[in-house]
Amino acid sequence: MESQDLDKLFRDAMEHAQETPSSRVWEGIQQELKKENKVIPFHKKYRAQISIAAMFLLFFGIGLSLYKKPIPSRTEKVDKVIASIEQKKNISDGHSSSSKEYIEDKIGSSVSSKAADQNLSVNNNTPTLQDKPSVKQEEVYAAPKKKSISHTDQEEIQLLTPDFELAEVQVELEDLVRSLHQVKMIDPTYDGIQPSFAYSTPQEEVKTSLVTRVLNGITKNIMSKHLDMDEKREIEFRNDEEGSLSINIINSFARK
């Protein structure tokens, strides 16, 4: 018999051969697999469910960040305040200017004399500067007078918010004084205004979104049940401009 034929004979016989092993084999396999299966299965078995849940969470998070109200930055808030002031200004031109005039008469004399002195000193030192400040002075002083003629009816309004107007005027006059020292013509800067304005926002502002509001509500409920507390901000959640969440628990430690 050829070698190849011999090989083929055995090969054909063995190809579909089947033999039944004893049951102890499967028992042994099961025992061994039990040791292996303890930690791994959860992650692999529920891979599909976990991945679906992760997707949902991802979309939820994205949706939250998109639906969150855009928090205006500091400069934007300042601009808003300025805009509202200017609006008020435009509305109540008459009475404000008249009050300006009124106050100017009282304080203006001293200021103007001061300004005049400054003017003189400026004149002495730098002839070029002389024209600009004086011109500006005249312009400003001229403007209110013009306006007061046309809007005398609105004088009554001034009684309602005198403090507001006073503050406004004072600062403006200060700015004018400041401007005399400066070469370039600049509009009065409002940097110093914010703290003194009644309309300015409180110093420490808490920015919140839906998530932080919910979390704050929950913590408030929990805290009020366990402790007698008057303060709201024992544990506080906040958002910043970029939307990241932060938790402030310093207060809760500081109390005790």
Partner 1 sequence: MKLENINLNSIWQGCQAYDKKAQALLYSHFSKKMFAVCLRYANTTLEAEDILQNGFIKVFTKHHLFDGKGSLEGWIKRIIVNTAIESFRQSKAKPTDSIEAHHENTIVSHLSSDTTSYQDLLQLIKELPLGYRTVFNLYAIEGYSHKEIAQMLGISEGSSKSQLSRARQALQEKLIKENTI
Query: How many residues belong to the site for partner 1 (CB under 8 A)?
Result: 30
Q: Shortest approach of partner 1 to residue 24 CB, angstroms?
A: 7
Query: Looking at 36-44, 61-69, 76-84, 96-104, which segment touches partner 1 (CB under 8 A)?
Result: 36-44
* Cα gap 223→238, rounded to integer Å: 17
* Token output for 80: 């808003």
Largest CA distance in the chain: 136
Tell me whether residue 46 or residue 59 sits nearer to partner 1 (CB atom). 46
Q: Is the dihedral of CA 101, 105, 108, 113 positive or negative?
A: positive
Sign of CA dihedral 52, 56, 61, 63: positive
Under rule CB under 8 A, which residues in 94-123 are in contact with partner 1? none
Min separation Cβ 58 and partner 1, Å: 24
**Does the CA dihedral 221-223-226-228 come out positive or negative?**
negative
Sort 173 into a burial class: Cβ within 10 Å, 0-12 / 13-18 / 19+. Answer: buried
Under rule CB under 8 A, residue 160 binds partner 1: no
Angle subtended at Cα 154 by Cα 148 and Cα 160, rounded to the nearest 5 degrees: 120
CB of 32 to partner 1, least distance (A): 5
- CA–CA distances in Å: residue 134 to residues 65, 75, 100, 102: 55, 33, 19, 21
Contact between 7 and partner 1 by CB under 8 A: the answer reads yes
Minimum separation from the CB atom of position 9 to partner 1 (A): 7
**According to the binding rule CB under 8 A, does residue 11 interact with partner 1?**
yes
DSSP state of 247: E
Q: Lay out the site mask for partner 1 across 16-35 (x = CB under 8 A, - = otherwise).
A: xxxxxxx-xxx-xx--xx--
Q: How far is the CB of 57 from partner 1 (least distance, A)?
A: 22
For residues 10 and 199, which CB has a smaller minimum distance to partner 1 in the complex?
10
Query: Closer CB to partner 1, residue 6 or residue 142?
Result: 6
Which positions touch partner 1 (CB under 8 A)? Answer: 1, 3, 6-7, 9-11, 13-14, 16-22, 24-26, 28-29, 32-33, 36-37, 40-41, 44-45, 47
